[in-house]
Amino acid sequence: MTEKILIVDDELSILSTLQDVLQDEGFETLTADSAEAAMEILQRGSINRFQAALLDIWMEEIDGIELLEWIKDRYPSLPVIMMSGHGSIETAVKATKIGAYDYIEKPISLEELLITLKHALKEAALERENEELRRRNKPQSVEIIGNSPAIKKVMQQVELAAPTDGWVLINGENGTGKELVARQIHNKSLRKTAPFIELNCAAIPDEMIENELFGHEKGAFPGATSLKIGKFDQANGGTLFLDEIGDMSLKTQSKILRVLEEQRFERVGGTELFEVDIRIIAASNKNLEEEITAGNFRKDLYYRLNVIPIDIPSLRERKKDIPLLIDHFLNQLSANGKSSKKKISKEALNSMVAYHWPGNVRELKNIVERIVIMVTTPTISLKQVPPVIRMANKELLQVDSFPESFREAKEAFEKQFIQTMLLKNNWNISKTAEHIKVERSNLHRKIKQLEIVVPK
């Protein structure tokens, strides 16, 4: 985004000179020859149209100090630089107290003006990002649902790990709730009022991950038109959650290891070192020890992250929790206004408990939401549960619970088979296609057709 500057001065020659200089530096400008004109411009659109303003102090009728007061009353986040050829210490102090970023005397040194303006823009950008982070990262209410021995063990580990500053490595299949556990650790920690920043290492292209982690300086590369604050900077004082870290390339692993050890980094295109104080929580759906043996993961990074290991059980290992989870999701959907609270029949519940849930809790939540949306009756019956789930419970299979057509039965088997093979191959579509000897495009089409949820 090109930064836009509002210039206010009743001397047209100064307006023209400043406009030419700033445009040569890559800024977009808009000028006003009076305070009244500036007020009209600001009121005409969103304040986000401008990133800074330059105000002359000595103008007729409404002077720059009055205009500064008017701006700070309505647009307190807009950085304002005052300019005057008849300045005094009292005037400069007054402008600063009202909220001016800085005060420059005329005749203006263009070099000084540009340096001051760039500093103001950089600080304002940081403040906007920090404010957005504060807004987004207020502690969220998270709850781990279940009373099975497997999930109780996880809860105990969370209670022990959270108050410390120890780094945590969370292991578990896709959809088991690794992010939920990470948030719970953060919310119970001494850092709970600081940001919780997450990065899905599998979702960012390798060539972009440094930029995401460390940010970049303006002009660092073509298209870098403004300063970008990276995840390390955003998480300063709080927690950085590195999800699916097993998908990070060896090259990036080397760079992140150095930053983790030193707790300081450089932005892309910059030379300044920034120190940070962050707690790292990492997660992976892969067996990292196997990845080390295969040469895909650094042993030293693994030992650095694996201070407190927490293993999240699959839903298959905690079937006792399925009724509690279903009730929780039904309550959530009702509270969100998506549906009146529905009940689930004993037969329908038993079939869902018997199912193997390759997509784990995420898949269960999606299925419950789908049933709630599609079922109009107040009670969910066995017949209204998807065929692939009904067929999982052989004890309940009766003639009237079978799919009603050969096509439905075939689709139910195909869905269960493909989900199982995807799970076996860590949800990698290419590997699964090769394993079951079909073209990748055909498998992708089947996944879409059968509405199989592939974890991202």
CA distance 256 to 111: 37
Q: So what's the pLDDT on residue 448?
A: 83
* Six token digits for residue 353: 């408990």
Beta strands in 337-428 (DSSP E): 343-344, 379-380
Beta strands in 296-427 (DSSP E): 308-311, 343-344, 379-380
Q: Is the peptide bond before 107 cis (omega within 30 degrees of 0)?
A: yes
Q: Which contiguous run of DSSP H or E holds residue 131?
A: helix 110-136
Same fold, 149-311 and 403-456: no
Q: So what's the pLDDT on residue 326?
A: 95
- Fill in the amino acid letter for 220: A
Tens place of pLDDT per residue across the chain (456 aa): 678 999 999 889 999 999 999 999 989 999 999 999 998 888 775 445 789 999 998 888 888 899 999 998 888 888 999 998 776 778 888 888 899 999 888 888 889 999 999 999 988 888 777 766 655 555 555 689 999 999 999 999 999 999 999 999 999 999 999 999 999 999 999 999 888 999 998 878 878 888 889 888 888 888 777 778 889 988 989 999 999 999 998 988 988 898 888 888 888 888 888 888 999 999 999 999 999 999 999 999 999 999 999 999 999 999 999 999 999 999 988 887 766 788 999 989 999 998 989 889 999 999 998 888 888 889 999 888 888 787 766 544 444 445 567 777 777 778 878 877 887 777 788 888 888 888 888 888 888 888 787 765
Q: So what's the pLDDT on residue 80?
A: 94
Q: 149-311 architecture in CATH?
A: 3-Layer(aba) Sandwich (3.40)
Burial class of residue 209 (count of CB atoms within 10 Å of its CB; 0-12, 13-18, 19+): buried
Q: So what's the pLDDT on residue 132?
A: 65
Q: So what's the pLDDT on residue 94?
A: 86
Q: So what's the pLDDT on residue 76?
A: 86
**Domain segments of the chain: what residues?**
4-136, 149-311, 318-397, 403-456
Q: So what's the pLDDT on residue 397?
A: 47
Q: So what's the pLDDT on residue 336?
A: 75
DSSP secondary structure of 9-77: -S-HHHHHHHHHHHHHTT-EEEEESSHHHHHHHHHHS-GGG-SEEEEES--SSS-HHHHHHHHHHH-TT
Contact 418, 447 (CB under 8 A): yes
Assign domain 318-397 one CATH number from 3.40.50.2000, 1.10.10.10, 1.10.8.60, 1.10.3720.10: 1.10.8.60
State whether residue 92 is helix, strand or coil. Answer: helix
The vertex-396 CA angle with 390 and 401, nearest 5°, equals: 55
Q: What is the CATH number of domain 403-456?
A: 1.10.10.60
Domain 4-136: homologous superfamily in CATH:
Response regulator (3.40.50.2300)
